[in-house]
Amino acid sequence: MKFLHPGYLNLFFLLAALLPCWLYFLHGKHQSRRTLGVGLALKRISRFSSLRKDVIRFLLLNLVMAAIILALAHPQLVQEQKVPQPGVLDVVFLLDTSPSMRATDIQPSRLARALEVIGAFSRAKLAHDRVGLVSFAGGSVIISYLTEDANNILYYLDYLKEDTAVSHGTNIGRGLRNGLTVIRKEAEVYPAAGRNKKVFILLSDGEDNSAELDGAVDAVREQGVKVHTVGVGTVEGAPIPIAYEGGRPVYLEDDQGKRIITRFDERTLHWIADKTGGKFYRSLSGFELDKTFSEIVLKERDITGFRKVIEYQDFYHGFLLAAAGIFFLTLLISG
């Protein structure tokens, strides 16, 4: 315990110095009552003798003043806590932008919902965490290298949201290799950042139709980077928009003119996560994505140490309440 204003504690010396005055006053008052002969009458109408009542009143009033002095000194309870210090986490999002991700079984679409949640994640991340963004479809593009600036990521997310160009095919392997390129370039430019823990979050409906996936997964494993995969899409699926005419989507059709329904391929994403030490997550509505990202970050973030934090809890209010209670008790005794 400590006192915020310890100087007020000197008033206890004044309180002690007044003790002889109180005793002299009580003695004189008692002698006066004996001289006037009122002591016996007071004893008859009270359970306490006048002297005993005066002594109790004296003690209670001193307790009131002592409580007020302690309250003025502002006592505080000192509590020391150890707060964990989170390590910096570099998150590279690998985002499927193939036509099947534009299906609207998740509103407003699989891709649009993923972009919204990545944006929310970037705004809410810890200040020194860094975010990178890679898109992939038939090919792959590094949209943003690792950056602490959330506004930089938000700018590119808006670009992807407005981009209506359709790139056919889904090459997850190319996206994984570009994710490794992001890490390698960062290590070259900022060697100190190489100590940051790296993690990939891959969002896709799982439909891979390339021959690069096996080699890319092996390369990721060699670098010791975990890939957490997030499958986006409902069980029922939805038609695949492949173009836009007059602002309206044109859907992929088979030889009979029937719309082809995109199906969710869970096995591929499970396999990627298992091979790299990550975990597979499923999003059927898109609303699970926020929780999924938070769980991944909580799981992957390292604790680099602990910082001592001292908290001060005021409890002068208790002394003020005690002073008020004792004072009212004194009034009752005086009555």
pLDDT tens per residue across span 203-224? 998 778 788 999 999 999 999 9
Closest to 132 in 3D by CA, of 169, 84, 186, 168 = 186
Higher-confidence residue of 118 and 29: namely: 118
Residue 145 domain flag? yes
Mean pLDDT for the chain overall: 84
114 and 227 part of one domain: yes
CB 144 within 8 A of CB 119: no
> How far is 206 from 235, CA to CA, in rounded Å?
13
Higher-confidence residue of 166 and 260: namely: 260
**pLDDT score for 47:** 45
Residue 325 domain flag? yes
- Check whether 38 has a pLDDT greater than 70: no
**pLDDT score for 280:** 95
Residue 281 domain flag? yes
Residue 309 domain flag? no
Task: Classify the C-alpha dihedral 127-130-135-136 as positive or negative.
Answer: negative
CB 132 within 8 A of CB 144: yes
Name, of 16-25, 103-112, 174-183, the range with top average pLDDT: 174-183
212 and 270 part of one domain: yes
pLDDT digits (tens, 9 = 90+) for 122-134: 999 999 999 999 9
100 and 234 part of one domain: yes
Residue 127 domain flag? yes
62 and 93 part of one domain: no
> How far is 146 from 143, CA to CA, in rounded Å?
10
**pLDDT score for 195:** 82
- Check whether 230 has a pLDDT greater than 60: yes
- Check whether 5 has a pLDDT greater than 50: yes
287 and 319 part of one domain: no
How many distinct structural domains can be found in the chain?
2
CB 307 within 8 A of CB 83: yes
67 and 94 part of one domain: no
Distance of CA 306 to the CA centre of its chain: 17
94 and 54 part of one domain: no
Residue 115 domain flag? yes
248 and 152 part of one domain: yes
61 and 178 part of one domain: no
What CATH number should be reported for the domain holding residue 219? 3.40.50.410
Region of poorest pLDDT, from 73-77, 80-84, 218-222: 80-84
**pLDDT score for 335:** 53
Q: What angle do CA 111, 116, 122 make, to 5 degrees?
A: 125
- Check whether 74 has a pLDDT greater than 70: yes
Residue 246 domain flag? yes
pLDDT digits (tens, 9 = 90+) for 150-205: 999 999 999 888 776 767 778 999 999 999 999 999 888 888 877 889 999 999 98
> How far is 223 from 275, CA to CA, in rounded Å?
13
Segment 105-119 mean pLDDT: 90
Segment 46-57 mean pLDDT: 64
- Check whether 328 has a pLDDT greater than 90: no
Burial class (CB in 10 A: 0-12, 13-18, 19+), 161: middle
148 and 212 part of one domain: yes
Residue 307 domain flag? no
Domain ranges, residue 145: 88-301
- Check whether 42 has a pLDDT greater than 50: no
67 and 146 part of one domain: no
- Check whether 146 has a pLDDT greater than 70: yes
292 and 327 part of one domain: no
